[in-house]
């Protein structure tokens, strides 16, 4: 066969994998948006079998042969083909070290664990989830031993979600961030110049919140011909295929911020996926570069746009129309101050911009301790509560508001949490650079004209998919290596102005 025949066969295999992944994604979406609980065990078995089939394709002898042939003739092939082959090789090398029966057992376990986590969270009882978590951790420790690692076992997990980022890098970045914001949070907490937030907890109907969520999605350019909005316990965005990128949210009639800002956050994720180069569809390049780059897009929309005072110049009247009894006596500037309130709270997804990074740093330090064998599963709730006391000055009153609040561990996503803080750093650095090209950034937001912003992000980030490593995307877009100082300057400037 000639080289292009091998190339076609390789991409046919990738397309076949994408078909399986689409079915698995749809099953996961269904599980998390209202599937009957009685079907969860059988659904878990189905997901496990389909995932095992994907595993077989990705680790097949033929896949290895095709990868080797293509990489041996890399100079004769298009750049995207070479990159796809390199990523496939990484997946092959990664997965081949895990016995197939163990992988299938692990996938089934994660599906069952998510259901157990939901039940444990509802009952606020960590002991209901602990046996599943112990098994998940044991599996991941075993996988790390198969893969091998440099310097720290946790690096093997970080590489899955944020290639190129290590414990050494994170320890330095997070140390600088903690040093800057912990004293600031203390000053903000002690400040007498606090916003009035009493109106936030007044009733805002679920129906109106949903209508407003749909409205904001359309305003930002989310394509409803290629997506939909649904309700879930833990909000997420998911890509079924390039033409089907779904958004979910959670409604709280006593705190509209959960749905409004949560929907806008997931909108950022979805717009990223909807604007990846169509030429990459059906390949392993048609995905976000990393979870951190993904998070940079959701945080950009949620914080740098939707929490910007200029955004509410354009849209505050929509809030008043949606819930007039709640907002009719609230001035726009008081509303803006209230939705930018900073104070230590227990729930990560409801945290303000200033305290949010500490929620992530706490999880990072706990996960690092888990995989350094410094803490047992039984000791995790106490460690969690202690870190919240030490960093934020508060102690969670229950498991539901503490260690059980996130779904990530139930899904086996150890190493994921640091991406949230990295995404915040990426977003701040992108915003800093964007102002050179779009100095009228605030005026665009004030007019509700988001297209130039979306186009800039598509050119610099979205279109590339996985063609580039995350740190390369940041360097190419901004002209420098990742620099945490842009986030620190943003937070110190914003919250000093609001509170001090």
Rounded Cα distance between 264 and 384, Å, is 29
What average pLDDT does this structure show over 447-458? 98
Per residue, the 3-state secondary structure of 3-48, as one string, reads: HHHHHHHHHHHHHHHHHHHHHHHHHHHHHCCCCCHHHHHHHHHHHH
- Name the nearest CA neighbour of 406 among 380, 430, 432, 445: 380
pLDDT per position as a tens digit, 237-282: 999 999 999 999 999 999 999 999 999 999 999 999 999 999 999 9
Task: Say yes or no to pLDDT of 234 above 90.
Answer: no
Evaluate whether 287 touches 159 at the Cβ level (below 8 Å): no
Integer Rg of the chain from CA: 23
The pLDDT assigned to 37 comes to 87
- Residue 206: the pLDDT is 97
How deeply is 148 buried, as exposed, middle or buried, from its count of CB atoms within 10 A (0-12, 13-18, 19+)? exposed
Distance CA 157, CA 385 (A): 24
pTM (predicted TM-score): 0.92
- Mean residue pLDDT of the chain comes to 96
Mean pLDDT of 388-410: 96
Could you tell me the pLDDT band of residue 158, with boundaries at 50, 70 and 90?
A: very high
Non-local CB neighbours of 17 within 8 Å, separated by 6+ positions: 54, 57, 58, 284
The answer to whether the annotation marks 7 as part of a ligand binding site is no
How far apart (Å, rounded) are the C-alpha atoms in residues 303 and 314? 16
Residue 265 among known ligand-binding residues: yes
In degrees rounded to 5, what are phi and psi of residue 229? -115, 130
Determine the pLDDT at residue 334: 97
Please tell me the distance from the alpha carbon of residue 71 to that of residue 82, in angstroms, as a whole number.
7
User: Nearest 5 degrees, angle CA 243-CA 248-CA 249?
Assistant: 155
Please tell me the predicted confidence (pLDDT) of residue 144: 97
Residue 349: predicted pLDDT:
82
What are the residues whose beta carbons fall under 8 Å from the beta carbon of 440, sequence distance 6 or more? none
What are 13-24's pLDDT values in tens digits? 999 999 999 999
Burial of 275 (0-12, 13-18, 19+ CB in 10 A): buried
CB 386 within 8 A of CB 375: no
The reply to whether 359 sits in an annotated binding site is no
Helix (H) or strand (E) holding 238: strand 237-241
Distance CA 358, CA 189 (A): 15
CB atoms within 10 A of CB 83: 20
The residues assigned a catalytic role are 266
Q: What is the mean pLDDT of residues 445-470?
A: 97
pLDDT in tens, 318-348: 999 999 999 999 999 999 999 999 999 999 9
Where do the DSSP E strands lie in 362-487? Answer: none
Phi then psi dihedrals of residue 419, to 5 deg: -60, -30
Distance CA 486, CA 432 (A): 7
């Amino acid at each position: 066969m000639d080289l292009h025949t091998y190339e076609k066969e390789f991409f046919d295999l990738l397309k076949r994998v994408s078909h399986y992944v689409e079915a698995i994604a749809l099953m996961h979406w269904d599980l998390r948006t209202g599937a009957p609980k009685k079907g969860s065990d059988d659904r878990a078995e189905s997901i496990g079998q389909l995932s095992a089939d994907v595993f077989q394709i990705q680790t097949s002898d033929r896949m290895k042969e095709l990868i080797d042939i293509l990489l041996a003739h890399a100079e004769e092939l298009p750049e995207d083909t070479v990159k796809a082959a390199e990523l496939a090789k990484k997946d092959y090398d990664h997965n081949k070290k895990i016995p197939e029966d163990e992988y299938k057992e692990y996938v089934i376990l994660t599906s069952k664990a998510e259901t157990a986590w939901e039940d444990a969270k509802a009952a606020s009882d960590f002991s209901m989830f602990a046996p599943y978590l112990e098994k998940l951790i044991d599996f991941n420790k075993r996988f790390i031993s198969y893969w091998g690692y440099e310097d720290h076992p946790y690096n093997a997990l970080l590489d899955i979600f944020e290639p190129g980022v290590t414990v050494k890098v994170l320890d330095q970045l997070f140390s600088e961030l903690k040093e800057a914001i912990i004293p600031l949070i203390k000053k903000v907490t002690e400040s007498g110049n606090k916003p009035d937030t009493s109106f936030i907890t007044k009733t805002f109907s679920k129906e109106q919140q949903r209508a407003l969520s749909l409205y904001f999605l359309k305003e930002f350019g989310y394509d409803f011909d290629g997506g939909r909005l649904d309700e879930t316990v833990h909000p997420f965005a998911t890509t079924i295929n390039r033409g089907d990128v779904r958004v979910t949210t959670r409604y709280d009639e006593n705190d509209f911020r959960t749905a409004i800002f949560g929907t806008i956050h997931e909108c950022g994720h979805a717009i990223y996926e909807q604007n990846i180069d169509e030429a990459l569809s059906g390949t392993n390049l048609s995905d976000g570069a990393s979870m951190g780059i993904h998070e940079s897009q959701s945080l950009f929309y949620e914080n740098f746009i939707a929490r910007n005072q200029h955004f509410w110049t354009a849209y505050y009247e929509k809030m008043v129309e949606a819930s007039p009894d709640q907002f009719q006596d609230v001035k726009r500037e008081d509303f803006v101050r209230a939705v930018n309130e900073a104070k230590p709270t227990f729930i990560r997804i409801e945290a303000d911009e200033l305290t949010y990074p500490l929620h992530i740093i706490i999880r990072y330090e706990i996960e690092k301790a888990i995989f350094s064998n410094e803490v047992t599963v039984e000791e995790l709730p106490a460690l969690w509560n202690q870190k919240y006391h030490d960093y934020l000055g508060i102690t969670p009153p229950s498991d539901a508001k503490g260690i059980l609040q996130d779904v990530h561990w139930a899904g086996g996503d150890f190493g994921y949490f640091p991406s949230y803080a990295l995404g915040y750093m990426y977003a701040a650095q992108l915003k800093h650079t964007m102002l050179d090209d779009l100095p009228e950034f605030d005026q665009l937001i004030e007019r509700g004209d988001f297209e130039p912003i979306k186009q800039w992000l598509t050119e610099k980030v979205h279109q590339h998919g996985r063609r580039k490593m995350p740190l390369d995307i940041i360097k190419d877009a901004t002209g420098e290596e990742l620099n945490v100082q842009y986030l620190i300057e943003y937070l110190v400037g914003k919250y000093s102005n609001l509170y001090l």
